[in-house]
Amino acid sequence: MEKRPACHVKRQTRETDVQLTLGGAAAELALPVPIFRHLLGAAVATWGLPLDLSATGDIDVDPHHLIEDVGIVLGQALASYLPGYRGVERYGFALVPMDDALAEVALDLSGRPGAYLANMPAGAVGGVDGEVFAEFFHGFSRGALCTLHIALRAGANRHHAWEASFKAFGLALRQATLPRPGLMLSTKGVIT
């Protein structure tokens, strides 16, 4: 991705406080939920764009609010970092194996939010129910105004399934955000 000015987004509610800088010099994930820090770190590493994140919240109640809000803020930061999604590939696809798991992600920086997850495993990973990780992707889709499909093609190990999914998400983002100067992949001429 071409170098652009860093984008800073902050979201503060009664439940969470999330501060994120996308495309800056620093790259740190300060999150109080270790498994989510691990999974998001895998996505960021495969995406390759520096992300500095500090997030706190009411995890004594449940990590749901914090994880969802991180998704929302990351999506908003991407939409601000790439206004109108002009000059980028727009579409991203990835298929990632991780031992027994095989995850597929397809995304479209379309201006139309929607996250669709299929065959994801039920149950907890690292003390967090998998449905909460799905809320991260729903939040991201709403914040970024993008369409996102994630499907687990194979895998019995929940950790491997979610980690492969986050890595595939990062790779699909890498492809969708590749610079294509002057390109607008839309018959309408705008992303909406």
pLDDT digits (tens, 9 = 90+) for 11-61: 999 999 999 999 988 789 999 999 999 999 999 999 999 999 999 999 999
The domain in which residue 111 lies consists of 7-176
- Which pLDDT band holds residue 188 (cuts at 50, 70, 90)? low
**CATH number for the domain including 62?**
3.30.230.40
Q: Is 36 domain-assigned?
A: yes
pLDDT value of residue 2:
60
Number of domains observed in the structure of the chain = 1
Q: Is 1 domain-assigned?
A: no
Q: Is 137 domain-assigned?
A: yes
pLDDT value of residue 156:
93
- Which pLDDT band holds residue 180 (cuts at 50, 70, 90)? confident
The H or E element that residue 93 is part of is: strand 91-98
Backbone dihedral region for residue 147 (phi beyond 0: left; psi -120 to 50: alpha; all else: beta): beta
Cα(147)–Cα(125) distance, integer angstroms: 25
